[in-house]
Amino acid sequence: MLYRLLLGLGVLANVAAQFLLKSTMRGYDVFGSGLLKGVLGIFAKPFFWLSIACYGLGFLFYTVALTKLELSKAYPVSSTAAVVLLVAVSVLFLKESLNPLKLVGLVLCLLGIFLVLR
């Protein structure tokens, strides 16, 4: 049970990292003031560093979870769960679109998780 919880925490950390990275880069033009200056400017943004920390935590949680969980189940579940959660976060907080085709894809993702865990 603990290792499944760690897998879930790894997914949440990954989703948080993606969201923070998108929030960091939203409206930011890396090439606008020259590539070097633009890339270096990213390092001055606090959410960039927070996203790196979330990636690191997610990696640690996932690595520990893999010590007891089957890779053939852990990877598809964590990847697919991250996709589903990222779409939800993107729609709710970033005002990205959710069309019927995307919704069907999410349902199929959830069905896939269910089938892999059988």
pTM of the complete model = 0.88
Rounded to whole angstroms, how far apart are CA atoms 15 and 12? Answer: 5
20-70: per-residue pLDDT in tens?
Answer: 999 988 877 777 777 777 788 888 889 999 999 999 999 999 999 999 999
Rounded to whole angstroms, how far apart are CA atoms 21 and 50? Answer: 8
- What is the pLDDT at residue 101? 96
92-112: per-residue pLDDT in tens?
Answer: 999 999 999 999 999 999 999
* pLDDT above 80 for 11: yes
Rounded to whole angstroms, how far apart are CA atoms 108 and 114? Answer: 10
Q: Where are the alpha helices (DSSP H) in 35-99?
A: 35-42, 46-66, 71-93
- Structural tokens at position 117: 């865990």
Phi-psi region of 26 (alpha: psi -120 to 50; beta: other; left: phi over 0): beta
Question: How many independent structural domains does the chain possess?
Answer: 1
- Cβ distance 73 to 116 under 8 Å? yes
Owning domain of residue 72: 2-116
